[in-house]
Structure formats: structure tokens, C-alpha cells
Amino acid sequence: MEAAAAAAAVAPARSGPSFPGRVAARAGLLLPAPTVLSAPGRRLVARRAAGDGKAVEAAAPDALPIEKRFPPFPSVMDINQIREILPHRFPFLLVDRVIEYKAGEYAVGIKNVTINDNFFPGHFPERPIMPGVLMVEAMAQVGGLVMLQPEVGGSRDNFFFAGIDRVRFRKPVIAGDTLVMRMTLTKFQKRFGLAKMEGKAYVGGDLVCEGEFLLVSATE
């Protein structure tokens, strides 16, 4: 009788498969805390074995809400400073902020594309896509922010978009996107006021437009 009782005490339960955690629970042992995993841009999760042997994920109590995960763009020039440099005004001022700038070399600006932009009712009513020519114009305006600085010697009253070359549109830009544009000065003939620039525009890190720009400025 005693031998049978001892065998029954160590025999595994017959209902369902056996798991280390379940056996430990029956023995009155404390279960280890679930492992909390984290990765950049992903929510924190807790993993624990379920009754069927599959992992179960649950949001950790201190998981960072999605609205708090993305820091704002830096602001080297705000819209008021941009308006002091560029002569453009609504509805043709297509740069909202400059997030990086090095005098006489390059500038990185952003354009927040919204459904309220006045070109969307006609381009296109059923599929709002930012016109490619306006993407090019926005990039040229970022280039103008480089050219119209005292370090370059440009003049606000005499600034022109003179030409484009090798322009390629890689992906459509739609309402809700943030267009990030980098314009880099590659050649400048101060005597003639001619500047050649390389431009690239991105949405979420994906290249959407690129090309070579020719800008001209002149003094009185």
C-alpha cells in the first residue's frame, strides 16, 4: 500500500501534455516571471506558455503607446524664418520646415502633404497624388534656401529656377505623407550666379524623387 501511494505521488497527470511550468505549479513552486522583450519601434510584450504549448503575447503594462514613439522633426528654420528668405507665398510655398542646414553646402527641408492642399481636388479626385512638378518645385525651394543665404551671396529679389535634368519619380506621394527633401550644392559659379544642385526626396526613408537642378541668382 505504501509503495503504491509513493508511485501515485510521482506519477504525471494524465490530462493533457506535461509542461515544466505546470509540474512546478503542482509541486507548489513559484513560476519565473515572464520574459519581457523589446525592440526599437516595437511594443513590449510578455511571453508565457499557454495550455496548448503555444506562446501567448500580451502587452506589458509599461509599453510605450504608439503616439509617443516617434520624436518630432528638429527645427533649424521654422515657417516664419523660411518666409523671410523665400519670396513664395500661399498657395505656392511648399516648404514647411528646415530640419538640417549647412551654409553654402546643403539643406534638408520637409513638406507636410495633406488632403487640404489645393491641388488634390483635381489631381486626382479619386486618388490624391502630389503632382511631380510640384515635388520638383518644392525641392527647388529648398535649394533656394541654400542659395539665398549671405554665405552664398544670393539675392532674394533675383532668384530663378533655371533648369532640371535626369529627374526620376520613383514612388507616388499621397496625402498624409511627409516629403523630406535634401538639396546639395555641387557647383557654384559666383560670377554668373549659377548653381548646380543635386536633389533627393524621401518618404519614410524611401526615395521618391531625384534629379539635378540648375538655379540662378543675380544681384542688382
Separation between Cα atoms, residue 112 and residue 203, nearest integer Å = 10
State the Cα torsion 84-89-93-95 to the nearest 10°: 20
Q: CA–CA distance from 190 to each of 4, 40, 147, 154, 187 (Å)? A: 101, 46, 11, 9, 10
Question: Is residue 198 within 8 Å of 125, Cβ to Cβ?
Answer: no
Separation between Cα atoms, residue 127 and residue 87, nearest integer Å = 31
Q: CA–CA distance from 101 to each of 132, 150, 183, 186 (Å)? A: 24, 14, 10, 15
Catalytic residue among 123, 152, 200, 212: 123
Geometric angle at alpha carbon 98, from 124 and 118, rounded to 5°: 20
* Residue 88 appears among annotated catalytic residues: no
85: DSSP letter: H
Q: Which residues pair with 207 in a beta bridge?
A: 202
Separation between Cα atoms, residue 173 and residue 140, nearest integer Å = 17
Residues with catalytic function: 123
